Each structure stands twice: as C-alpha cells, then as structure tokens.
Structure 1
Amino acid sequence: MQRLGASLVQEGSVRAGLEKLLEAAKLDPTNSAIHQELALAYRDLGEFQLSLDHFKKALELRPEFPQAWNNMGTVYLLLRQWDLAINCFQMAVGDILYRTPHFAYNNMGLAYIKKEQYQKAIASFHKALKSAPSYSPASTNMGIALERMNRWEEAIDAYQDAISVDPEYPASHFHLGRLYI
C-alpha cells in the first residue's frame, strides 16, 4: 500500500497516492516512512501544515531520518521561514549516514540566498559540490549567489561548470545567457 501510494504521488496522481498512503498509515501508524510519504503528498497539494505535522511525526518516530529533515526544510522554504528551513537542513547534513547530503546543502544555500547571506550560500553550495561534483543545481545556484555579489566572472564560471556536467539542465543555460545580454 505504501509503495503504491508513494509511486502514485511521484507520478503526479497525488490525491490517489494520498488515499493509499492514508490506508497504509491506518495499518501501520508507527511507520516513519509512511508519515514522510504522507508529508510529501500534502506538500505537493499545498497543505503545508498537514505536511509539517507528518514530517514531525516521522521524526518523532525516527529522529535520525535525514531525508525527512531535508524534505521538511523544503516546506519551510515554501513558507518563507528561512531559519527553520536552515535548521532542518543542518539536521539532515549532521547525519553522517545521509547518502545524499548535496540536496540538503543545496537547499540550505537557497535559504541563505533568500536571507541575502551570500557567503554562507556559497559555502553551502561548495559543500554540495564536494559531496556530489556533478550536481549541476548547486553550481547554478552558486552562480546566482555570485551574481548577487556582483562577482560576474565567477558566476559565469559557475554556470559553465554546471553546463559542463549536465548540458541538459536548462537553468544553467538561462542564467549564463542572461549575463551575456
């Protein structure tokens, strides 16, 4: 039931997936993964408080759940609560076993950009790239932070780095092209 629900959500059938996930939660209410999947479904539906409630439940059941910390941080980003988002991302990357910390570091950098703390944003993007050198969103976002600091040549380099590892990522091309106009 959980896998079906999660698959439906990922395929874009969020309400159908939510229905299956709610059934799964009734059968196994202490399963942290189900609560995380419910939280993601509610986030996708714009039901941010319900999403946060389920992320908190997942983390209550399993405090060392870095994916849930990272994903809860994305809800706080959507709510423009930058400090709460950063705290979540820090919890995620604080778990040495987290296999994809580049996602949380990249998200943390986005929060720092919103706070206009560009040096901290750049440091976060560097950490993302140290973890996953070919993660082009981090290079692209670093370029954005560098632009905000009027460091044009470095921004161009960051966009070109992103394009070199992922020529299909459109945001890198868009931002690089803007600098040449």
Structure 2
Amino acid sequence: MRKNNLFLILVIFLLSSCAGTVSEEAAQKANYHYQIGVSYLNDNNIQPAFVEFQKALQFNKYNKDIHNALGVIYLVKLENYPKAIEHFQEALDIDKSFSEASNNLGNAYAKLGKYSEAIDAYKKAILNPQYKNAAMALNNLGMVYYRLGRYDDALDSFKESIKRFSTFHLPYYGLALAYNAKAQYGEASIAITKAIEFDPLYQGNKQKATDDLLERKIRAQGLEEKDISDYLEILKY
C-alpha cells in the first residue's frame, strides 16, 4: 500500500562474481565501497550511499549488484526513472537471469507508464524458477494489469502471488482494488480485511489503518491518491 503499490526488494548483501575482468585489488575496493553503501542505505542515509555505490562502480563496472543498487536509488529515492532503467539494463546485460533487476526494471517502466515493457520485465523475473521473490513480481504485475483495466488478469496475478507467499499483504490490497473495480464489493471487503490482518503496520487494526490512510491521502497525488480513496471506500463496506 506504499506509493502505487509497486514494491521491490533490494538484495545486495554480497557482491556476485564479475562478468568482466578487473584486478583483485579493484574488486576488493569495489566491494569495500559497496558494503559501506549498503550500510548507509539500510539507515536510509541516501546521499552517502549513492556516493559509495558510484565509487564502487568506478572500481568495477562489471558487477550487476552495484548497477542494481544504483538503479534502486535512482528509482525509489531520486525518482530519475530513465537512469534507473539504464542501470537495471546494465545489470541484466551482465546477467540475463538476474530476476531482481528484471523486477526493478518493471517498476521503473511502470513509473513511466510504459506498461507493456513493465509486463515483459515482470514476466521475465517470474519465469526464473530460482527467483525467491516471485511473489513480489507477481504482485507488481497484478498492479500493472489493474492500471490497464485488465481486472481479471490482475486478480489472477494477485492470487498467484498469494500462492507463493500466503501471508503477503500487498496482493490482498491489490485484490481489494480489482474486486472493487468489478463491483464485487463483498470480495473487496474480505480482501482488504485480510490485507490489514497481514500488514505488519496494522496487524489487523482497521481503525489504525483508516487513520493512517486518511493521513497519507493528504500527501498523496495521482494514482496513489486514488488508490487510497478506494481503500477508504472499501473499508466502509
């Protein structure tokens, strides 16, 4: 239920092996700056993290995780979506099976309203049987289908996400929106109740969820504002 319900996970604890060739010393320096960047990012200290990832890239431009980390900062924090796409594509050029970058690439395309490209990126991530966060990509795919008015496809994606991760709250919020759009108000009410139950922020407290949504609505714009308005309406059913 965060901005546009497009969520991503940044898995960047250890650097992967390099596709290109760099010296051992350069690789070690890249890893040093990368790990510092991760530490800053975990503390939501964005600018120092951004600087450290840039330093890491100077030492090793062939590492997919560095590109993915920079892409995430451009996507989530700086909202520079073309630069985010550039880095996610660089990561995928290094490793075509890097599903986290595919999912993140889909999010960047979705932010730009390039839904066809987003769908392709999400599907590529989902097709990897070793991708641990497929439930996230399926949820994101469902949200894109919802934006396109393809409500049945959205429902299928959200339900498939729940199959992969039964207590994942985000696809339940998506189900609520899609059912509401189809005028299936009872199902929408059940879905948002489940979402609030599994959401660690609310832990089943509907009043807390309502108060939080009302506060967020003041700051929200565009699609996010409409989603929040719909959630509040569904909570009245």
User: Which residue of 110, 113, 118 maps to 2:146?
Assistant: 113
Matches within 5 A, 1:147-162: 147-162=180-195
Query: Partner residue of 1:11?
Result: 43
Q: Over residues 105-132 of structure 1, what are the superposed CA-to-partner deviations in whole Å (9 max), with x where a residue is unaligned?
A: 0000110011000000000000110000
SS of residue paired to 2:167 = coil
What count of residue pairs does the alignment treat as equivalent? Answer: 181
Matches within 5 A, 1:72-87: 72-87=105-120
Structure 1 residues 25 and 156: CA distance shift in structure 2, 3 A? same
| Structure with more helix by fraction | 1
2:29 pairs with 1:25? no
Please report the RMSD computed on the Cα atoms of aligned residues, expressed in angstroms: 2.0
Q: Distance in 1 between matches of 2:38 and 2:143?
A: 26
Q: Over residues 79-102 of structure 1, what are the superposed CA-to-partner deviations in whole Å (9 max), with x where a residue is unaligned?
A: 111111111110110100000111
2:126 pairs with 1:93? yes
Code of the aligned partner of 2:179: L
Which entry has the higher C-alpha Rg, 1 or 2?
2
Q: Contact 2:176 / 2:187 at 8 angstroms: preserved in 1?
A: yes
Code of the aligned partner of 1:130: K
Query: Partner residue of 1:52?
Result: 85
Query: Partner residue of 1:164?
Result: 197
Q: Quote how far apart the aligned CAs of 1:31 are.
A: 0.6
Q: Quote how far apart the aligned CAs of 1:176 are.
A: 5.8
Q: Quote how far apart the aligned CAs of 1:166 are.
A: 3.2
Code of the aligned partner of 1:131: R
Moved over 6 A (4+): none
Percent of pairs with identical residues: 24
Q: Distance in 2 between matches of 1:14 and 1:82?
A: 28
Q: Distance in 1 between matches of 2:103 and 2:138?
A: 9
Q: Contact 2:177 / 2:231 at 8 angstroms: preserved in 1?
A: no
- Greater relative contact order, per chain length (Cα 8 Å cut-off, separation 6+): 2
Query: Partner residue of 1:144?
Result: 177
Q: Distance in 2 between matches of 1:155 and 1:167?
A: 20
SS of residue paired to 2:129 = coil
Q: Distance in 2 between matches of 1:20 and 1:176?
A: 39
5+ residue gaps, structure 2: 1-32, 211-229
Q: Quote how far apart the aligned CAs of 1:167 are.
A: 6.1
What TM-score, normalized to structure 2? Answer: 0.71
What TM-score, normalized to structure 1? Answer: 0.92
SS of residue paired to 1:86 = helix
Q: Distance in 2 between matches of 1:39 and 1:168?
A: 27
Q: Distance in 1 between matches of 2:202 and 2:61?
A: 39
Q: Contact 1:139 / 1:158 at 8 angstroms: preserved in 2?
A: yes
